[in-house]
Chains A and B, each alone.
Chain A
Amino acid sequence: MAWMGLFFFLPLLLVFVISFMMRGTYGGVEWVFSLDNYAALLDPLYLRIYLRSILLATATTLLCLILGFPLAYYMARLPAHWQAVWMVLIMIPFWTNFLVRTYAWIFILRSEGLLNTVLMEIGLISQPIEILYTDAAILIGLVYGYLPFMVLPLYAALERLDRSLVEAAADLYATGWSRFRRVILPLAKPGVAAGCLLVFIPSVGAFITPDLLGGARTMMVGNLIQHEFLVVRDWPFGSAVSFVLMAMVMAGLWGYLRWEGRSWLWR
């Protein structure tokens, strides 16, 4: 407890306090109370970064859901030992270092990279298409990075699903779509919610992916924080930015718990 207090809550508190201070000309902190940092955050410039991050994270979450749901559903219907095999197969790429996995996409997406080389070779395109250093590249990187976070809880939820319910629905002449919407989806809802949360939280605060795949042309909140701390050296403002990010995530979490009808994280 004391450990976490010292090295976790105290630092968080420090961020909170510093976010109300002012910056010295060459960095550092001037210990003068001010609300300037939060006022500055209302600037459309910064609001847009938050909005961008939320949009990108939402898109990532949706894509993961679209890709992950059939996968999890398929896995849940396999015989038990195949389920284990698929589970392992899905996890294998994720033992590899995150940076290495991100790098792989740079290798594939750059304009003289594999994708363009192959597409040009087979004559599908005549000019290399520019994907690397665009939002599309960031999106690919994020989906790739966080897909398992979606698949695992979905799988856990779907695996529990009683197949006879689906069959019963079929017997009652429910169409495929309505079986999905009326039976499968509601039962999988907790898994969907957990998966979305697990994908959304790391995506919205992502730093590496936009940095490496976005080519430093655009920013997400994570990059703004890094930028404020390590380039501009405006610690107080950087603190305010991070604090708002954390508050956002906490609000999302709280909403999720409320929706789940629980007041605590675990019970």
Chain B
Amino acid sequence: MVKIRFLGVQGVSLGALAFLYLPVAVLIAFSFNDSRLSAVWQGFTIRWYGVMLTDDALLAAIGNSLVVGLCSTVVATILGLLAAVSLERMGSARGRLVETTLVLPLVIPEIMMGVALMLFFVTALVPLGLLTITIGHAVMNVPVVMVIVRARLRKLDPKLEEAARDLGATPWQAFRRVTLPLLVPSIIGAVLMAFTISLDDFIVAFFTAGPGSTTLPLKVYSMVKSGVSPAINALSAVLIVVSMLLIAVSLWFQRKGGVALFRE
């Protein structure tokens, strides 16, 4: 009885997994389809990959995305780290209030953020462009960094820093030499997450973009809107495969560590 039920659950689970993978698989398969319009298989071709690679606008968009991603991540990491550390030193009541307000950007709808930033920049007469997108992403990412770093910070034993102080370290030295190294893994995690969020963001970029600041998601959006060129299938396939390969490689690298992480 229990077994049968469990099989049912397994069925649903496998179904859900198929639901998650089907669209992705379809896109990859049809990026090789030699037909501009039809969903009927008409032969194998790789020409859409050529079309994709010669699309200047697309390459420029990837470049923009990387610039915005890197800059906003640097800003967000520094500010998020500062916020996390100073929160730790605040009294608990005030700290809680500050923390709750700081994480608000995580829970308000993204479109609200896009609109608010656009109005703000326009009112402040800041010309829209890569700079404004970067600022927008940094705003989105400060709380992300803060939350991740703080989770780690809270696990640290305060005695470590105290010990350093007892041994004559200044507060700054104690932080630099003791706390910061312990935070490094969480900072790396935060950096990568912030970078990814920036690369994936459409809404904030949509509202705060200016001349020549089309990012990759904005470009994909206009490609999707303006038609069914299979070049976009090719682009999707590349994005999917690259990410899969990298997860595989990275899992392989940290197999020991990775499994240990999951087990711990």
Contacts and interface: CB of A to CB of B under 8 A. Distances in A.
Query: Is there a contact between chains A and B in the complex with CB atoms less than 8 Å apart?
Result: yes
Interface of A: 1, 3-4, 7-12, 14-15, 18, 67-68, 70-71, 73-75, 77, 80-81, 83-84, 86-90, 92-93, 95-108, 110, 112-114, 117, 144, 147, 170, 176, 201-202, 204-205, 207-208, 212, 222, 225-226, 229, 235, 238-239, 242-243, 245-246, 249-250, 253, 264-267
Given A104-B26, A264-B96, A242 B120 contact: no
A81 B259 contact: yes
B9 A74 contact: yes
B21 A93 contact: yes
Of B5, B8, B38, B112, chain A has the most CB atoms within 10 Å of the CB of: B112
Given A88-B251, A226-B111, A10 B120 contact: yes
Contacts of A246: 108-109, 112
Contacts of B100: 264-266
Contacts of A207: 111, 203
Interface residues of B, number: 81
B39 A107 contact: yes
B202 interface: yes
Contacts of B45: none
Interface stretch (B156-164, B165-173, B240-248): B240-248
A58 B64 CA distance: 36
A196 B217 CA distance: 27
B160 to A, nearest CB: 23
B262 A80 contact: yes
Given A92-B243, A96-B243, A144-B20, A7 B26 contact: no
B16 A71 contact: yes
B200 interface: yes
B117 A107 contact: no
Given A88-B247, A97-B239, A4 B102 contact: yes
B243 to A, nearest CB: 4
A100 B109 contact: no
B200 to A, nearest CB: 6
B20 A90 contact: yes
A68 B44 CA distance: 37
Nearest to B136: A7
A18 B22 CA distance: 45
Nearest to B96: A264
B221 A101 contact: no
B13 A265 contact: no
Interface string B202-245: 11000100000000110011001100100011011001100110
20 contacts: A3-B139, A8-B105, A14-B116, A15-B116, A70-B12, A70-B13, A71-B16, A80-B263, A84-B259, A96-B239, A97-B239, A103-B220, A103-B236, A117-B39, A147-B19, A205-B110, A207-B111, A246-B108, A250-B108, A266-B103
B197 to A, nearest CB: 11
A90 B17 contact: yes
B249 interface: no
B27 A225 contact: no
A201 B109 contact: yes
A139 B50 CA distance: 34
A245 B30 contact: no
B86 to A, nearest CB: 8
A15 B83 contact: no
A192 to B, nearest CB: 16
B10 A7 contact: no
A93 B107 CA distance: 23
B99 A266 contact: yes
A99 B220 contact: yes
A15 B139 contact: no
A245 B115 CA distance: 12
Contacts of A97: 199-200, 216-217, 220, 236, 239
Contacts of B196: 95
B119 A147 contact: no
